Amino acid sequence: MPSIKRIVSKQLGELLLERGVINQAQLEKALKLQKEKGGLIGQILVALGFAKEEEIAQSLTVQYGFPYLPLECYDINADAIKLIPENVAVQYNLVAIDKIGDLLTIAMSNPLNYQAVEDIEMLTKCKVQVFVSTMTDITNAILKHYPKK
């Protein structure tokens, strides 16, 4: 599996602390909950109301260098959407946004999901470029661009 290198060696919680998004007590509560129930720290912080999805997505861009793309104002390429079946898009919380040659650009809420990227590359026979977006933006894009049954 490909290794994604961190640009910043700090954990997501540390970055959020430094940026003033959360405080130490909030981080400790979220980490305790993560230890008990599992899950991604960013999603836990959002669920607890301590951080906004955009703040988590932007911190991931700082931590790993993935570009952040808010989808609400972005024109998604209709041909790119057709490359990924709806069930796959929902499963991995991602959406194809553009395709140029054999380069497929996707937006996903968890850019560290190597399996998702590999599956999309195998499925589409394209090289995948990843952008980070919020779970809500991606869910809304899926609802908007996949035909209702």
Contact 63, 109 (CB under 8 A): no
Percent over 90 (pLDDT), the chain:
64
Summarised one tens digit per residue, pLDDT across range 23-41 is 999 999 999 999 999 988 9
Residues 53-66 pLDDT 10s: 989 988 888 888 88
User: Cα(48)–Cα(62) distance, rounded to whole angstroms?
Assistant: 22
| Residues 112-142 pLDDT 10s | 898 999 999 999 999 999 999 999 999 999 9
> 5 or 131, which is more confident?
131
Beta carbons of 99 and 80 less than 8 angstroms apart: yes
Q: Which CATH superfamily is domain 71-145 in?
A: Type II secretion system, protein E, N-terminal domain (3.30.300.160)
For 125, list phi and psi in degrees, rounded to 5: 60, 30
